[in-house]
Structure formats: structure tokens, C-alpha cells
Amino acid sequence: MGAGALPQPVARRQPRRGLGAVSAVATQQSPVLVVCGMDFEARIAASPEVETLYGQRGVMLARSLDIRLMQGCAGVISFGVAGGLDPTLPPGAVIVATAVRSGQTSYSTAPYWTAALRRALPHAESGLLAGSDTPVLTVADKTALHDSHGALAVDMESHIAARAAQALGIPFAALRVVIDPADRAVPPLAFAGMAADGSTDVGAVIRGLLTAPHQLGGLLRLGRDASIAKKALAGARDAVGAGFAFPSPVAA
């Protein structure tokens, strides 16, 4: 699984790290909380109608979600790129999840919200996402994960967000875009170059290339895939509208 090693800036409003970018108006209106892994994903997601939480993984992300969700929000959506598991999906394939599976546990998405996302994205794939606590980098690992669950793609945030939302009865959805296809391994340096705050540590990538120059080709391929994925992610974001297609109480 990989986020692009060298993400390009996206010309959108800058969110804050951690407990996200919100206007006072959005906070008062109980906004949708958007959970991302990388800073470029959060920049694409940002709008006055939503909060973003990004740059955290694992236990830290779970704790931040628990704290934030106790304050209430309209819904939680996992948004960003994902590693491809289904061999038919190319970079840029948009996925609206019907459920997220982690190990033997499956978390369903809110049917009415998922339906609204699918109406906004009629050409998107729909199906299962896998959640993983560790990066899924090799073709063999991707194949094994796909064979075990039939998941379309994998990321490291969706299962944590789904678990936290379900615990409090908050609607959950997931919208992801394939970055690395199932038949392509992710260079280890791509993950090593992800800083703890969700940004890219270019210095770490360069230092890594000094000792592992054979990874350069893979990083360049991933960079091309990332450009495709980011365009698709931005297009999907525009299509679902400022509030991520979250239905009004009447529509729900």
C-alpha cells in the first residue's frame, strides 16, 4: 500500500494538523469529520463544511478520534488514496466502500450516505475496503489480502475511523482512490519517506536512495501513479460537494 512518495501541493485551503481545519460556523453545525493519512489528501478534502484529521496512524489516530468524536459530529468519512488489491483497478480508480474489513471484523458504511456518494460518483467502483495496521507493499501481500477478503483496495485509516464511528453510533463512509495497482510493488522508501505528520520527508527519501539506488525506478513509477490518483481524488472531491454528499436529516 502506498501514498505517493513525492506528493505535489494541491491549490486548496490548508487544513490544520491533528484535530483539523474548521471554521467556527462549521463547528457549530456539527460538521462531517474527514479522516486522511497524508497532508495532500487533507488539502483536497478541506472546505468550511468539514473538519479534517490527518497525519496520524494506529493508536494515536484511534485516540484522537475518540477525543474528537465525543464532541459530536454529523458523520465520519475516510478519504484519500489506497493501495490497489483488485487486479482490474488502475491508478485513479475511485472506490465508494460498502464496508471496511480488518482481520475478522467488518464495519458497514451508512447505506444512505453510501448511496448519496454513488449518485454523485456514478462511475465509481463499489465494494469492500481492507484496513491494515501495517503497510502492504509487495505484490504477494496484496494478492493474499485480496484473495482472503475480496477487498478492492487497502489503506491504514479506514478501519480505525470505522471502528471509532461505530462505537458511538455515528454514520461512517469511505471514499478512496487507487494509487498503486495490485500488480505493482511499492518501494520501501515510499513509506519510509512518509513523515509522522502526514507530509513527505524528501530528505529521508534522498538519503535512502544513496544506499538503495535501485529503488529509484519504482519511486518514479509511483510518482506517475500518484499524479493520476491525485487528479482523480480532486475530481471525486469536487463531485461530492462541500459536505461530502452527507444527506440532510430529511434525506436520510
Instruction: Please indicate, yes or no, if residue 27 is contained in any of the structural domains.
Output: no
Model confidence at 6: pLDDT above 70 = no
- DSSP E strands in the chain: the ranges are 32-35, 50-53, 75-84, 94-102, 105-108, 125-131, 153-155, 172-180
Q: Which residues of 68-97 are buried (b: 16+ CB within 10 A; e: fewer)?
A: bbeeebbbbbbbbbbbbbbeebebbbbbbb
CATH number where 115 lies: 3.40.50.1580
Taking residue 249's Cβ as centre, other Cβ atoms within 10 Å add up to 6
Q: Among candidates 164, 201, 176, which has minimal Cα distance to 59?
A: 164
pLDDT computed for residue 197 by the predictor: 59
> What is the residue-averaged pLDDT of the chain?
85
Q: Using pLDDT thresholds of 50, 70 and 90, give the confidence band for residue 245.
A: very high
Instruction: Please indicate, yes or no, if residue 159 is contained in any of the structural domains.
Output: yes
Q: Using pLDDT thresholds of 50, 70 and 90, give the confidence band for residue 198.
A: low
Q: Using pLDDT thresholds of 50, 70 and 90, give the confidence band for residue 27.
A: very low
When divided into structural domains, the chain yields a total of 1
Q: What are phi and psi of 97, to 5 degrees?
A: -75, 140
Instruction: Please indicate, yes or no, if residue 4 is contained in any of the structural domains.
Output: no
pLDDT computed for residue 194 by the predictor: 65
Tell me the mean pLDDT in the region 150-167: 98
Distance CA(110)–CA(96), nearest Å, equals 11
Instruction: Please indicate, yes or no, if residue 75 is contained in any of the structural domains.
Output: yes
Model confidence at 173: pLDDT above 50 = yes
Of 214 and 174, which is predicted with more confidence? 174
Domain that holds residue 142: 32-183+232-240
C-beta separation of 248 from 171 below 8 A: no
**How does pLDDT run across 41-68, given as a tens digit for each residue?**
999 999 999 999 998 889 999 999 999 9
Q: Using pLDDT thresholds of 50, 70 and 90, give the confidence band for residue 214.
A: confident
171: which DSSP letter?
-
